[in-house]
Structure formats: structure tokens, C-alpha cells
Homo-oligomer: A and B are copies of this chain.
Amino acid sequence: MSQTVDRALSILPLLAQGPADLGQVAERLGVHKSTALRLLRTLHEHGLVYRQEDQRYRLGARLFALAQEAVENLDVREIAHSHLVALNDRCGHTVHLAVYEEQEVLYIDKVESRYPVRMYSRIGKPVAITVAAVAKLLLADLTEPERRVIAEKLDYPMYTSRSTPNPAAFLKELAVVREQGWATDLGGHEESINCIGAPIRGADGRVVAAMSVSAPNVVVTAEELLTLLPLVRRTAETISREYSGTTQPKKV
């Protein structure tokens, strides 16, 4: 809606791919060098862009700080955190919390496994949306037309032989998840890693977040992991209740 701001913001994803000099930025933006310079300067003043010694620009430090503050202000995260830690204490595995936002699912909290073999993931990292247990839970709660539209739009990378292969399979899986109220990812993302997850609901019953427990085969088999399901579901329900409680007196 605002051309100038639009151009300035387009620089960010561009720099996310790697550092670039003024000429490159101007070219890829389709504007004159002097224009690009002024936009970059403004971004720089706000700390979103950093100028390294070789004069090239890259993303700046304030971005981290902003993302940091943002995540700490999420209500669900705050409420859920202690419960996630408690769950980790009991089972020892990696625990994740994720939300859905604008076509993306992303982790907003994580408690690391106590076992030496850990799975790779990071807060803020977009989730493998077609296979992750938390993604299935969050998408399963959308309306049927929404689910169809998104399922069609997605890519279906075959991380492993057990990855969700296409929209039809994904929609079917979402229906199952919706029905049973929990989800799994059995080697669909990484051959040797299994997850089980459960939804966290707001006062109106809608899914506001999803949590999961992940563990590699070498630590526990899929069957053993599934025995934790009741515990995971109870934890999710506890968080749901607490979250509903605090948000019931809906502030305006």
C-alpha cells in the first residue's frame, strides 16, 4: 500500500539470502542507486541492516532483539512454558510449542532433550508443514475450505519415504487428526525421529497452539513414545484450561 515502505521492506528478504552491495540491492529492487542508498540508510538507522567492513549490507542485530521481544510477549508461550519444562522433566525428550500464522507454522518455544542425541530445530524456524505433528494439529482446526486451499498450495517434499506425498493424503491425515484430537509424525521428516503432539485450545475451543514430544529411534521406539500420549494430552489440556481462564474475561 505504501510504495516506499514496500520497497524498503523488500530489501530484508533479499539480504536474508546473504550480504549484498548497493548496486545489487538497487538492481534487484528495480530502483536507482541513490534511492536504494536512502532506503538502506533508513533501515540502518533502525538497526535492521548492518554494514560490514567491506561496505556490503547484511541483516542487523535489532532484528534478533525484535523477534526476541515479540516471542516473549505471546500469552500462550508464557502460560505453557512451565508445563513444557515439567513434561521434559518427566520424559526427558525434546518438547516443542508451535503456532500457526499466515500460512506458516513455527516453533515459539522448545525445551531441549536431556539425551545426548538431539534433533535439530530452532525457535522461529518454520516447521516442515506437511509432516510435523504440530503442523497437522494446527491446520486440522481450520475450516474445510481453508484446509483445501492450503493443501493445494503447499509443496510436498519427500524428506523420507514416509513423508506426506500429496494434497489428498494430507487432507486425509488432517481429517484423522481432527477426529482423534492428537497427531503423530513417525519418521516423516527425519527417518529416525518420531513425534507425538496434542492441541492447545482457547476458551472457544479453537486450536491456538500445538505441542509435541520428539525422540529419536535410538532412544525410544515409536511404540514406547506412544505410551506417553496420555501424558502429553493431559499437559495440553492443562495448558488449555489455564489459557482459557486468563483469556475468558475478554479484554477490549
Contact = CB atoms under 8 A, between A and B. Distances in A.
Nearest to A126: B65
A234 interface: no
Contact of A102 (B6, B50, B89): B50
Contact of A12 (B66, B73, B125): B66
Contact of A124 (B6, B46, B64, B251): B64
B61 A104 contact: yes
A25 to B, nearest CB: 14
Interface residues of A, number: 56
Copies of this chain held together in the complex: 2
Interface in A1-44: 1-2, 4-6, 8-10, 12-13, 15-19, 38-39, 41-43
A104 B68 CA distance: 15
Contacts of A112: 112
Interface of A: 1-2, 4-6, 8-10, 12-13, 15-19, 38-39, 41-43, 45-48, 50, 54, 58-61, 63-71, 73, 89, 101-102, 104, 106, 112, 114, 116, 122-126, 250-252
